[in-house]
């Protein structure tokens, strides 16, 4: 965690507080200067959306599942902003992506 001292900022006489992280246009920005928190959020969302597809569209054809997966789970428009991240967190993201595909298309059962 970076520890920096800044002068207090005021807006209309009210002192603004510093926060450790915030969301801007769907991307989590933090004062740690890395994207690990945003990548972990993407991992959670990918698992959640894949499980939702499995529970609702289990009996659909492979073609339909492929279209649903592309439209619901591959919403990665902000990953181009990822620049500083740990290798382990990014490996977890890649592993999550592969597990979700395998689980959705029935290549193995996670139990």
* pLDDT score for 87: 93
The pLDDT score that the predictor gives to residue 1 is 47
Asked if residue 46 lies in contact with residue 102, where contact means CB atoms within 8 angstroms, the answer is no
Q: Which residue, among 73, 68, 44, 45, has the nearest Cα to 56 in the 3D structure? A: 68
φ, ψ for residue 73 (rounded to 5)? -105, -20
Read off the pTM.
Answer: 0.76
pLDDT of residue 24: 81
Which residues have a Cβ under 8 Å from the Cβ of 73 and sit 6 or more positions away? 46, 49, 50, 53, 100
Q: pLDDT truncated to tens, each residue of the chain (111 aa)?
A: 445 677 788 889 898 888 888 888 878 887 787 889 989 999 999 999 999 999 999 999 999 999 999 999 888 777 877 888 999 999 999 999 999 999 999 886 655
Domain ranges in the chain are 23-104
């Amino acid at each position: 965690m970076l520890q920096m001292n800044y002068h207090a900022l005021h807006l209309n006489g009210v002192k603004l507080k510093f926060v450790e992280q915030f969301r801007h246009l769907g991307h989590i920005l933090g004062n740690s200067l890395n994207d690990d928190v945003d990548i972990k959020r993407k991992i959670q969302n990918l698992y959640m959306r894949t499980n939702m597809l499995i529970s609702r569209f289990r009996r659909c054809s492979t073609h339909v599942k492929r279209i649903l997966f592309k439209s619901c789970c591959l919403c990665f428009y902000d990953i181009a902003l990822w620049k500083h991240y740990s290798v382990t967190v990014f490996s977890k993201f890649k592993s999550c992506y592969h597990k979700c595909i395998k689980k959705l298309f029935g290549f193995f059962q996670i139990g």
